[in-house]
């Protein structure tokens, strides 16, 4: 009996031994699976720099030149006011008149020639840019070029024996992959934070040409322009923006993909500015209801809401209502997928573009144009407008949707502005559609201007306008000729 008890106790001890060993082995495997960033930090953090700028403070309305405090402040208001804020900004403190503006950000050295990458918003408007290295050297940097649309700036310093980063491909990133950021949050140099890639190709409301890398890496004011590393020690992105309702990190940060950044760098080195491809369309997402109405099996693609006159899209035969589902061999699942694809296309190249029109797929060939300035695009997107000082009325061309809603056919112009004058005296209202003047149908804004110039001075002529309640004739008194 005693032998049986001894044997049983030995078996229990053996089982406990195996269980303990198994738990130790499992804990060791788990520990080994967690990434170790220490070697990456030792090797590549010297290539990360602190960037500060100075800018002469502009006079306020009273003529006083106010300084700025060094620690960032953030705009007040609701959550939408600070959505995707730039996170290095500084606020006024009402100091002495000679205090310069000081901003703080990060950057990294990409080659031995002294080229440094950072965000455009870190150095925008700076009179002087200072770069502080890990060995405490401080150098004055030259701005080679900057691109506001991608938020990238290229600097250069003159120095020897510079540490450099290893550049990687952001196109190889996968969601869930570990990444690491190094920067100067709130001025604390070479701070390290780690996390994972949360999403790829993220489109933000304020940016159309950057498919952002979304991460949960802790990013704060001063991290702007710093590098995002993968586990191989390669820079795969430039930390640029955060989502925040407080001004600090809330779990969402966004980085510019390195593939996008290096395309910008090549152009900045070559010509000091960036050119992008352009189609000349206004687009929107395809909802489930719209997909059904267009005869599509599922919602996908970019729906063309407007084609700008004389644009590459117009010349290629793109029409309002077309749904772009593929550009240059790459799928367009969401409307936000199209602008980055077009922006990175080579200007002047003929690119195949698949569209769905009337429920059928077809391929168009579009010759990519150069993206104009934002002001030119905005002006082109607005309906052509003509202001007639003789009658005191400003009119604009009608869109196809407006003509369809009002059942106007091909005639009529929309009243956009109204001043004191003959048109207002006749009872014309903003929002009216002028269909006919002096018994002549009005074709467009330019035609309206010609017709009003030919009106007989001092006479009363009939004016037909269309309102939501229906058409109505008004009596327009044409002003007498000036003597």
Is 23 within a domain?
no
Question: Do 415 and 329 share a structural domain?
Answer: no
Is 2 within a domain?
no
Burial class (CB in 10 A: 0-12, 13-18, 19+), 232: exposed
Greater pLDDT, 235 or 481: 235
Question: Quick one: pLDDT at residue 366?
Answer: 93
Structure confidence at residue 181 as a pLDDT band (50, 70, 90): very high
pLDDT in tens, 247-260: 777 788 999 999 99
Task: Identify the residue whose tokens are 């997909």.
Answer: 291
- End position of a domain, from candidates 239, 271, 303: 271
> Domain of 184: which CATH number?
2.40.10.120
pLDDT in tens, 406-416: 677 778 888 88
pLDDT in tens, 35-91: 888 999 999 999 999 999 987 755 544 444 444 433 344 444 434 344 444 443 444
Question: Do 341 and 221 share a structural domain?
Answer: no
Question: Quick one: pLDDT at residue 158?
Answer: 92
Tokens linked to 276 = 């992008």
* Whether the model pTM is above 0.75: no
Question: Do 304 and 257 share a structural domain?
Answer: no
Question: Do 61 and 149 share a structural domain?
Answer: yes
pLDDT in tens, 382-423: 555 555 567 888 888 887 667 766 677 778 888 888 888 888
Question: Do 300 and 227 share a structural domain?
Answer: no
Question: Do 322 and 255 share a structural domain?
Answer: no
Question: Quick one: pLDDT at residue 373?
Answer: 67
Structure confidence at residue 23 as a pLDDT band (50, 70, 90): low
Query: Which range marks the domain in which residue 120 is found?
Result: 43-271
Beta bridge partners of 106: 50
Answer yes or no: is pLDDT of 163 > 90: yes
- End position of a domain, from candidates 271, 303, 322: 271
pLDDT in tens, 183-223: 988 888 889 999 999 999 887 766 667 889 999 999 888 89
Number of domains in the chain: 3
Is 20 within a domain?
no
Burial class (CB in 10 A: 0-12, 13-18, 19+), 143: middle
Task: Identify the residue whose tokens are 């209801």.
Answer: 289
Distance (Å, rounded) from C-alpha 397 to C-alpha 82? 37
Question: Do 303 and 238 share a structural domain?
Answer: no
**Exposure b/e, 48-79, CB count within 10 A at least 16 = b:** bbbbbbebebeeeeeeeebbbeeebebeeeee
Question: Do 263 and 294 share a structural domain?
Answer: no
> Domain of 290: which CATH number?
2.30.42.10
Distance (Å, rounded) from C-alpha 101 to C-alpha 88? 12
Neighbours of 148 (CB within 10 A): 12
CA-closest candidate to residue 54, choices 121, 120, 100, 104:
100
Question: Quick one: pLDDT at residue 182?
Answer: 93
Question: Quick one: pLDDT at residue 79?
Answer: 40
In the predicted model, what is the mean pLDDT of residues 284-310?
84
Question: Quick one: pLDDT at residue 351?
Answer: 92
- End position of a domain, from candidates 331, 350, 369: 350
Is 170 within a domain?
yes
pLDDT in tens, 255-275: 999 999 999 999 998 888 888
CA distances from 305 to 197, 246, 279, 281 (A): 33, 36, 13, 7
Helix boundaries (H) for 412-483: 422-426, 445-453
Beta bridge partners of 68: 92
pLDDT in tens, 349-380: 999 999 988 888 899 999 999 887 665 555 55
Question: Do 285 and 251 share a structural domain?
Answer: no
Long-range contacts of 281-289 (CB under 8 A, 24+ apart): 281/305, 281/306, 281/307, 281/308, 281/311, 281/313, 281/318, 282/306, 282/308, 282/381, 283/324, 283/335, 283/338, 284/335, 285/334, 285/335, 285/336, 286/323, 286/335
Question: Quick one: pLDDT at residue 32?
Answer: 55
In the predicted model, what is the mean pLDDT of residues 93-103?
52
Question: Do 170 and 124 share a structural domain?
Answer: yes
Question: Do 319 and 215 share a structural domain?
Answer: no
CA distances from 128 to 54, 101, 103, 272, 457 (A): 5, 10, 11, 18, 63
Query: Could you list the active site residues?
Result: 121, 151, 224
Is 300 within a domain?
yes
Greater pLDDT, 7 or 459: 459
CA-closest candidate to residue 358, choices 386, 384, 323, 315:
323
CA distances from 254 to 94, 213, 240, 248 (A): 33, 5, 6, 14
CA distances from 343 to 170, 331, 368 (A): 17, 15, 9
Tokens linked to 64 = 């006083």
Is 24 within a domain?
no
Is 163 within a domain?
yes
Is 30 within a domain?
no
Provide the mean pLDDT of the chain. 80
Question: Do 392 and 455 share a structural domain?
Answer: yes
* Rounded-to-5 percentages of helix, strand, coil across the chain: 25, 35, 40
């Amino acid at each position: 009996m005693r032998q049986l008890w001894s044997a049983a106790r030995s078996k229990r001890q053996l089982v406990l031994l195996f269980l303990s060993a198994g738990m130790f082995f499992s804990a060791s495997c788990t520990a080994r699976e967690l990434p170790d960033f220490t070697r990456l930090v030792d090797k590549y953090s010297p290539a990360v720099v602190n960037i500060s700028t100075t800018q002469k403070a502009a006079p306020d309305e009273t003529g006083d030149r106010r300084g700025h405090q060094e620690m960032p402040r953030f705009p007040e208001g609701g959550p939408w006011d600070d959505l995707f804020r730039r996170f290095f900004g500084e606020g006024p403190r009402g100091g002495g008149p000679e205090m310069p503006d000081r901003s703080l950000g990060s950057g990294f050295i990409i080659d031995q020639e002294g080229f440094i990458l950072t965000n455009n918003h870190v150095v925008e408007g700076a009179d002087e840019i200072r770069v502080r290295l890990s060995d405490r050297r401080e150098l004055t940097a030259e701005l080679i070029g900057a691109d506001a649309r991608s938020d990238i700036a290229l600097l250069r310093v003159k120095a020897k024996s510079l540490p450099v980063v290893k550049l990687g491909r952001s196109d190889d990133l996968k969601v869930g992959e570990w990444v690491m950021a190094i920067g100067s949050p709130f001025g604390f140099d070479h701070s390290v934070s780690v996390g994972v890639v949360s999403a790829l190709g993220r489109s933000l409301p304020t940016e159309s040409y950057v498919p952002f890398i979304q991460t949960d890496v802790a990013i704060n004011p001063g991290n702007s322009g710093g590098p995002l590393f993968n586990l191989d020690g390669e820079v795969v992105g430039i930390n640029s923006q955060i989502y925040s309702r407080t001004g600090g990190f809330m779990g969402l940060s966004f980085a510019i993909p390195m593939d996008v950044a290096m395309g910008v760098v090549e152009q900045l080195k070559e010509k000091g500015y960036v050119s992008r491809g352009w189609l000349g369309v206004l687009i929107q997402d395809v909802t489930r209801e719209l997909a059904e109405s267009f005869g599509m099996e599922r919602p996908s693609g970019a729906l063309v809401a407007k084609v700008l006159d004389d644009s590459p899209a117009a010349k290629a035969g793109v029409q309002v209502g077309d749904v772009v589902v593929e550009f240059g061999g790459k799928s367009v699942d969401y409307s936000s997928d199209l602008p980055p694809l077009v922006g990175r296309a080579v200007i002047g190249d003929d690119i195949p573009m698949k569209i769905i029109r009337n429920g059928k797929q077809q391929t168009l060939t579009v010759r990519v144009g150069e993206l104009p300035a934002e002001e030119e695009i905005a002006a082109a997107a607005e309906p052509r407008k003509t202001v007639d000082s003789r009658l005191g009325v400003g009119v604009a061309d009608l869109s196809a949707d407006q003509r369809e809603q009002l059942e106007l056919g091909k005639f009529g112009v929309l009243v956009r502005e109204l001043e004191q004058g003959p048109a207002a005296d006749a009872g014309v209202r903003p929002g009216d559609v002028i269909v006919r003047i002096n018994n002549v149908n009005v074709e467009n804004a330019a035609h309206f201007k010609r017709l009003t110039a030919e009106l007989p001075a001092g006479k009363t002529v009939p004016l037909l306008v269309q309102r939501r309640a229906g058409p109505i004739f008004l009596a327009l008194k044409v002003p007498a000729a000036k003597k």
